[in-house]
Amino acid sequence: MNKISIIARREFLSRVQKKTFLLTTIGLPILIFGIYALIIYFAVRTSDNFTIAVADKANIFEGKLAEKSDSEIKFISVNNETPETLKQQIDTKKIDAFVFIPEHFNIMENKDSVQVISGKSVGIITREKIVGKLNNIIEEKKMLGSLNLTKKQLDSLQQTNKIIFTSTTGVEDSNKKAGLSYGVGFASGFLIYFILFIYGTMVMRGVMEEKTNRIAEVIVSSVKPFQLMLGKIIGIGSVGLVQFLIWIILIISLQFLLPLIFPDLLTQMQSAPMQPAIAGGATQESAAIAGIMNGLGQINWVLIIGCFVFYFLGGYFLYASLFAAVGSTVNEDPQDAQSLMLPITMPIIFAMVIMMNAVNNPNSSLAIFGSIFPLTSPIVMMARVAHGVPEGVTVLELIASMVCLIVGFLGTTWLAGKIYRTGILMYGKKVTWKTIGTWVFRKY
């Protein structure tokens, strides 16, 4: 055990002391924080208004368009203006566009069209918002005129009962929580997918370098090949774990800088739920941010982080041992590793395919199978755990998944150890899967 710890310490220190490790470990969270801060900045800060003058000669809108103004689109009512004078105001940048409704305009007939005249091209999102605001008032007026309803009766008809989803325990499963669970599950599964490839291939390349440089011959004179393999796996895995812990600490710590950068962010988020829905765009955006924060508070982060660490370690050790075994079989030509890697990488890719189904339907048969099968469980289970227990995964399924992953890790380590023992000292012969099979069943 002492020899394994010495090898693991060597692998750990040789990577941690590199400048690239410090650059990626410190630089990546700062980059993520910068992107996150920019997203919040553009969500909180209002953009310039797109000003539209409304000359309503037929009194179709009855001055109600001004109430539809928000942080992006502003309607102003004008009198005694003609299309020519309004075009001059566009040329002088006083307005961006105008709507001219002639006196003979008949709203009950669909022959006449409402024209929005602008001096520049209107973006698709702004265009949809303008059309929506105009259509809301036109449809309302048509219904009031044809059905002889009062405004109060029409508002009552347009209002719908709130539809909510709850679990059997009575806990509300809000749309925000469901959406965030989807995002957290997908991000966690993809992150482990990324880890398995990056650190797994790092183990394989480390073994290949020591073998091609004949360093392994010197090392195995003092330690057993299995101890060398396990030491490399533990050392490189420790680098990955330390790196992720530093990332988590830095990202959480950087969140406390947000109130300093955006002093009005907290105030807007606290006041957003108390504002009416018809308020300006900034209030709606702040309400959306407040809803996201509320949804994040409903997610069981202790469960997710604990499972992430477990499946990170379990998935890494399982696949790193297989990657190490492949690395030990490669001779002078690194291209030989490509054909041998295919059976290892296929379950990882298959796990990503199952995860796509699991984030949408965490209780499907395919998702349950993928979360228990050891070669796919590190990725698939994280997609299900994000939905919570027992909503996304039952306690029994979680325990079965963890037990199977531990058994799978022990099995792949034993299998990889037998391959590594022979392959690390074999040179000059191209290895095939048939040759590897004979190594596995060989008795020592």
Taking only the tens place, the pLDDT of each residue in 332-356 is 666 667 777 888 889 999 999 999 8
- Is a pLDDT exceeding 50 seen at residue 279? no
Which pair of tokens denotes residue 263?
């002093």
Beta-strand ranges (E) seen in 147-230 are none
- For residues 386-405, average pLDDT: 87
Tell me how crowded residue 393 is: count the other CB atoms within 10 A of its CB: 25
Identify whether the C-beta of residue 368 lies closer than 8 Å to the C-beta of residue 298. no
Residues of the chain with CATH 3.40.190.10: 50-154
Residues 6+ apart with CB under 8 A from 19: none
End-to-end CA separation in angstroms for the chain: 21
**CATH of the domain spanning 50-154, picked from 3.40.190.10, 3.30.1360.10, 3.30.1370.160, 3.30.365.10:** 3.40.190.10
Taking only the tens place, the pLDDT of each residue in 106-154 is 766 666 778 888 888 787 878 888 888 888 887 777 776 666 666 666 5
Q: What's the confidence (pLDDT) of residue 305?
A: 86
Peptide bond into 390 cis (omega under 30): yes
Residues 6+ apart with CB under 8 A from 28: 247
Q: What's the confidence (pLDDT) of residue 376?
A: 94
Phi-psi sector, 93: left (phi>0), alpha (psi -120 to 50), beta? left
Report which secondary-structure segment, H or E, holds 10.
helix 2-16
- Is a pLDDT exceeding 80 seen at residue 15? yes
Identify whether the C-beta of residue 188 lies closer than 8 Å to the C-beta of residue 386. yes
What percent of the chain is modeled with pLDDT above 90? Answer: 11
List the single range of 129-133, 206-210, 211-215 with lowest mean pLDDT: 211-215
Q: What is the pTM of this model?
A: 0.64
- Is a pLDDT exceeding 60 seen at residue 266? no
Q: What's the confidence (pLDDT) of residue 272?
A: 44
Cα(81)–Cα(84) distance, rounded to whole angstroms? 8
Report which secondary-structure segment, H or E, holds 41.
helix 19-44
Cα(433)–Cα(75) distance, rounded to whole angstroms? 72
| Distance, C-alpha 423 to centroid of its chain | 40
